Structure 1
Amino acid sequence: MTLILASQSPRRKELLAQMGYQFTCCPADIDETVQGTELPAEYVSRLAIEKAQHVAKQYDDNCVVLGSDTTVVMHNMMLGKPESYQACYDMLKMLSGDTHQVFTAIAAVKSGAVQVMVIITDVSFKSLTETEILNYWQTGEPHDKAGSYGIQGIGGQFVSEIKGSYSSVVGLPLYETTQLLSAMGIANPLTQSK
């Protein structure tokens, strides 16, 4: 059985590879616009499913396609990727000294069957100064990150506490991914006899 990751995220690739899975990557080019009054869990679920289904159309039925999507949520507002320093500043000021949620959905598609899971993790930030935010922006790290930070990079130093799945905040929850793939017939490499 072939496993395909519907993502070009280097972080997701790294996490899936570190678990020992053999897979190929095929990024899904889909519209990620929020629809109407979509709630965060609905939004990430829909995108994870759409990514997996989009890629699954290109392969035969003997493939399992894994899609994933992550969003940062503060006071019920979804924070996307910053398009400018001002957007980054506004987001990080909002997160500063407070606790937000990171919603990650993973979806597996095989022969038209779909399974999806949503993982929610609480992340608390220390209070950030304007200088810290500006210097962080200038590293380039926030530019392609939901919520303007990467927990696995320099931005990890802003995190004072995390309740839930660290790997989910990075973009691929390890525990839930192995459960989902096992349910779809892809064995966990650690459970295989050598």
Structure 2
Amino acid sequence: MEASAPQYKLILGSSSTARKKILGDMGYEFTTMSADIDEKAIRKEKPEDLVMALAEAKAEVIIPRVSIGESEGDAEPTLLITCDQVVVYEGAVREKPSSEAEARQFMKDYANGHAATVSSVLVTNLATGTRRGEWDKVEIYFHDLPDEVIDKLIEEGTVLYAAGGLIIEHPLVLPYIKEVVGSTDSVMGLPKGLTERLIKEVL
């Protein structure tokens, strides 16, 4: 017996490869749209407030670009998922590194220490306007990160596009992760359990 298709369309408002993979692994079919917003223009004291504000700003940019069903009688609502993530280290919010030097400093700081990721998920039902969002926090503890590993990571370049210069699932980084308190999918940018719950809440 075939599983019935969900009675809604899903748009992931993100161009993140990791988020696409997680949502795909959860069994969802979806399309993607990315929001180009000036993240630096949005400032909040608390990281939790910042990631929620950024997810909302992304939704606001994407929503006008989505055509909601050609006919009013379209039975399938469209759900939009927008997200954001920052890394918090010693109370300070870290976004994507602005340079190789900053990425290197970020990684040196984590060695034998810990950082946290704060991720937001916002799900908007475009048919009803119902919107639910929450944040999720994960603590990551590190062993020492050797300089040659940091060099390789910077040379490869992916870390320059990651919040806080942090990619825990990276094969070069994995051996130096001591402990992750929380879910790995949340660190990668999309907490599965939270996402599923918010989708149900807006339907």
Q: TM-score, normalised on structure 1?
A: 0.89
Asked if 2 retains the 8 angstrom alpha-carbon contact of 1:68 and 1:172, the reply is yes
Q: Kindly indicate whether the alpha-carbon contact (under 8 Å) linking 1:2 and 1:64 is maintained by their aligned counterparts in 2.
A: yes
Contact 1:72 1:79 in 2 (8 A): yes
How far residue 37 of structure 1 moved from its aligned partner, in angstroms, is 4.6
In structure 2, stretches of 5+ residues that fail to align are 1-7, 70-76
Distance 2:197 2:163 in 1: 25
Q: Which residue of 2 aligns with 1:52?
A: 59
| Residue 56 (structure 1) shift | 1.8
* SS of the residue 2:97 aligns to: coil
Q: Distance in 2 between matches of 1:36 and 1:69?
A: 13
Distance, in Å, in 2 between the alignment partners of 1:87 and 1:138 is 14
**Whole-Å separation in 1 of the counterparts to 2:175 and 2:160:** 17
Amino acid at match of 1:38: E
Shift of 1:114: 1.9
* Larger Rg computed on CA atoms: 2
CA distance in 1 between partners of 2:150 and 2:16 (Å): 24
**Counterparts of 1:176 and 1:34 in 2: how far apart (Å)?**
27
Q: Does residue 97 of structure 2 align to residue 82 of structure 1?
A: yes
Q: Which residue pairs with 2:153 in the alignment?
A: 136
Identity over aligned pairs, percent: 27
Q: Give 4+ residue runs of structure 1 displaced > 6 Å after superposition.
A: none
One of 93, 100, 105 as aligned partner of 2:108: 93
The answer as to whether partners of 2:42 and 2:54 remain within 8 angstroms in 1 is no
Shift of 1:53: 2.7
**Which of 60, 65, 78 is residue 80 of structure 2 equivalent to?**
65
Task: Give the superposition deviation at 1:148.
Answer: 1.0
- Runs of 5+ consecutive residues of structure 1 not aligned to the other structure: 186-194
Distance in 1 between residues matched to 2:23 and 2:145, nearest whole Å: 32
Residue 82 of structure 1, CA deviation: 1.8
RMSD of aligned alpha carbons: 1.6
2:24 corresponds in structure 1 to 17
Structure-1 residue corresponding to 2:74: none
Q: TM-score, length-normalised on structure 2?
A: 0.85
